[in-house]
Structure 1
């Protein structure tokens, strides 16, 4: 069975005000000092000093992945607490924030090269790694999952606020990420050689620093034998992150099987995929999404159901069908992280309360399904 792992970017926030705090270095030092052999190195720095990244080990069982993901959150939460702060799984900061770029040579170079795009980019995503058997298979998977990726944006949407304002988007993080020159959907590659040649050509333009800045919606990992799906917001409820991971693995398995059977990748133009991303970012689960096959608008629940049916054989093979179906039903009934953030804002009129609620759900003090 294919293994999978999850990386989550989390905000460090202040109790009461909800503002993002530039404490990543302190939080990381605290976590490292208290780490045992199993958790050592689980937390990492990110672009901005107001965020940290967690990463699970590879797992084949969704229940084990869920346990690990929650443990990584607990590590981050405890380290932040010891520095007088809290942690919130939010795709963007609801409270106005001035991002503070992490002090290292790479990030300084990015600030010089990309200017305001780097300076303003305080966003938190959820990246899912799924194991592959070869680079040829990996590229074949990337080619075949393209039309389905916008649905993961809609399911994970958790960033409706930006600089203290409601953006009218469910996932404004998707819009912010689109400012990077390599972000978004990719064209069809057809082979590992074509993929590698295009990546090399992109780096040779001297527009991006290196292959690590290929911020495509899905890419072949340079560090691990995996395909990395990068479209999702960090999920408020850890159960939703596990759902996204389970669906991602099933998508990869389905695509690999199609390639092995000689089934061609859907020739959906990149321009339509960008529109599908935009629509998912705007609507979340609260409106229409674009049908993966026809690019025509359909109710979100119908498009999500189409994905579930598309990957059902893979879910069944992994023993994930019941867990994923139940988690998906719960998410559709209670709404996304973006829905919850807006409900808190409408109820209290205070963005600090939105952050405080997110802190409680992130830590497990309050289940994401409770209103």
Structure 2
């Protein structure tokens, strides 16, 4: 069973005004003070020598905080960790007069405050307005691989499916006080960086690393950490890291995306071992597929992953579910994924829920208030009942 983990970036907001607020440094001070208590109260037997729950970390802007889950082999355990991490981040945010909201972009007008970090300062000097305005929150899924060769083979084969994941996770219709017209405007804002987007087919780890060396040699990107591909080999863990998704408003959607991602990786690895070649879809077409997913989410056509012809979004999602069906069945995740997808289809993505909140409340402040509630609403799903709807760290 492949292990997997999730990194979620949350927005820090004022609970009254809905404005994004630069409280990350104060929140981290609270978190560090809380760590000894978390270590003492962990439920391991015997007690663990250090805290093993979700970790918090700062991000590029002080209006954000990142939650880093542990690696898990069980979907139920990962789901509990995701919810517990959100609860931990919000507990610390409350201590500094803020709340956390799983919003991929700030709905209200915001001027971000960069983290007081030397590397961040260098990036702002080099990339100008792109860096100064950067305030997007993503969800990154890590899935274990046995080697770099397997990892690159996986990257070669999952690339055509990543726009479908992005559509399911779409959660950024509003930015700077307006409706952008997109389901995921984060995808548009993020593409301003010089090293984002889909990758070509490499065929080997050597070819992958050769491309990275060539990119670094140009001097355009600062370092390896700035290789913001839609999916990449992690530089810190023996994983592939899928980075295409908005942070999901509902934790259940994060769980769904994580399960589908692990199944995609497992299916790709099996195809590689069996000698099945990756689909030779050009990068130019993948960029169009990503734009289409960013524009409409699941409420319009998506591009067919192989033919690139427009198709009903749910027909394309059905193709994805069929593609990874065997892997989902063998991991025991199939019934849960079907349940979570049915739930998402019924209520809509985060983008749809944000637009519905605007219609109900009449204000973007109301959208943020509703987002805070949705970020921390316990799941009523069967799996949550098994792990406990109020799971804590």
Query: Under a length normalisation based on structure 2, what TM-score does the superposition of the two structures give?
Result: 0.92
User: Which ranges of 4 or more aligned residues in structure 1 deviate by more than 6 Å?
Assistant: 365-368
SS of the aligned residue for 2:66 comes to: strand
User: Pairwise mapping of residues 82-101 of structure 1 onto structure 2 (< 5 A)?
Assistant: 82-101=95-114
SS of the aligned residue for 1:47 comes to: coil
Q: Matched residue pairs, number?
A: 368
Match of 2:58 in 1: 45
Offset of residue 117 of structure 1? 0.6
Is 1:318 the equivalent of 2:331? yes
User: Pairwise mapping of residues 1-371 of structure 1 onto structure 2 (< 5 A)?
Assistant: 1-35=1-35, 36-37=38-39, 38=51, 42-364=55-377
Larger deviation: 135-144 or 339-348? 339-348
- In 2, the alpha carbon distance for the partners of 1:73 and 1:21 equals 18
Offset of residue 40 of structure 1? 7.1
User: Is the contact made by 2:53 and 2:69 (CA closer than 8 Å) also made in structure 1?
Assistant: no
- In 1, the alpha carbon distance for the partners of 2:9 and 2:355 equals 21
- In 1, the alpha carbon distance for the partners of 2:194 and 2:91 equals 36
Offset of residue 41 of structure 1? 7.6
Offset of residue 245 of structure 1? 0.2
Match of 2:43 in 1: none
- In 1, the alpha carbon distance for the partners of 2:205 and 2:367 equals 44
**Structure 2 residues without counterparts, runs of 5 or longer:** 40-50, 382-393
Query: Under a length normalisation based on structure 1, what TM-score does the superposition of the two structures give?
Result: 0.98
**Structure 1 residues without counterparts, runs of 5 or longer:** none
- 1:309-355 per-position Cα deviation (integer Å, ceiling 9, x unaligned): 00000001100000011101111111000000001111222000000
User: Is the contact made by 2:139 and 2:245 (CA closer than 8 Å) also made in structure 1?
Assistant: yes
- In 2, the alpha carbon distance for the partners of 1:238 and 1:41 equals 14
SS of the aligned residue for 2:343 comes to: helix
User: Is the contact made by 2:250 and 2:374 (CA closer than 8 Å) also made in structure 1?
Assistant: yes
User: Is the contact made by 1:237 and 1:367 (CA closer than 8 Å) also made in structure 2?
Assistant: no
- In 1, the alpha carbon distance for the partners of 2:334 and 2:375 equals 25
